[in-house]
Amino acid sequence: MKDTVATGTLNAMTIDVEDYFHVSALAESIDRKDWSAMEYRAEQSTTRLLEMFEQYNVQATFFVLGWVTQRSPQLVRRIHAAGHEIACHGLTHELVYRQTPEVFRTETRDSKAMLEDLIGAPVLGYRAASYSITAQSLWALDILCELGFTYDSSIFPISHDRYGIPGASTRPGRIRSPNGSQIVEFPLTTRKVLGARVPVAGGGYFRLLPYWFTRWALQGVNEDDQMPFVFYLHPWEIDPEQPRVRASLLSRFRHYNNLEVCEQRLRSLMRDFRFTTMRKLLAPYLEAA
């Protein structure tokens, strides 16, 4: 059954394809070497997202983690075959500012090549683990250009304990990397509310804030700020049955809050707004290169 299609500005629908045990908020509690022994659930929750997107006639961009690409190559092919865009979420979910440029270059090149081999098409877009391109790791943009990426969506123009560049542009557009190369950046969407920049377009914020607030804020981005927003979600966010991991109170709150309402909210969002892939939305900027 196809649902009714919303009208209005086209926005970007993006999914960071990783599992609950990859998440930075829980990384303090899970050793990387134990990943392969954890109950793997990303494939089934990503499949559920694909079914929902088909129902609402939404095309999305999937930033796939290299670890998932290795584990589920057929999933990557299925996403691509369904007409969605495949993009790169790095190899190991290490924060960029904790890597050396050399390690970042190798891992990012390898994860891009794995995806391109699987789908037989170029991968244009990149999103860093936990939006970890910050003022300390802007060098990563040089390397993304060098590796042939034409757009990035890793910069969160807010202050946060793990990510963010307060004061960075909030609009999609071309930016210069430190060595003078150019790349298109689609910053994660924020909205000014009572004088403060609030992240309003995905993940934990989508689960924490009441849906009416999200809808009001995103309508404001489209109508008052006159620009598209980028919505993001992870497959584990529509999987309330996932195994619980011991972690700090803050991390558990960020990870587990409102998982059970997330799928219904996503359905409401797809009824209320129009979505497409990042690549299609950014085409005017990419062509101007």
Binding interface with Zn ion (CB under 5 A)? 16, 18, 129
CB of 270 to Zn ion, least distance (A): 22
CB of 41 to Zn ion, least distance (A): 15
Smaller CB separation from Zn ion, 15 or 286:
15
* Pairwise CA distance, residues 278 & 282, whole Å: 6
Smaller CB separation from Zn ion, 60 or 129:
129
Smaller CB separation from Zn ion, 16 or 152:
16
Nearby residues of 186 by Cβ (< 8 Å), 6 or more positions away? 12, 151, 152, 153, 172, 230, 278, 281, 282
For residue 202, give the DSSP letter. Answer: B
Coil vs helix vs strand at 185 = strand
Residue of minimal Cβ distance to Zn ion: 16
Nearby residues of 260 by Cβ (< 8 Å), 6 or more positions away? 240
Whether residue 149 contacts residue 109, with contact meaning beta carbons closer than 8 Å, is answered with no
Smaller CB separation from Zn ion, 162 or 274:
162
CB of 176 to Zn ion, least distance (A): 26
Smaller CB separation from Zn ion, 16 or 94:
16
Smaller CB separation from Zn ion, 18 or 152:
18
* 289's tokens: 């290169």
Count CB-CB contacts under 10 A for residue 150: 19
CB of 235 to Zn ion, least distance (A): 11
CB of 192 to Zn ion, least distance (A): 26
Count CB-CB contacts under 10 A for residue 272: 14
Q: Which amino acid is at 65?
A: L
Q: Phi/psi zone of residue 93: left (φ > 0), alpha (ψ -120 to 50 degrees), beta?
A: left
CB of 154 to Zn ion, least distance (A): 10
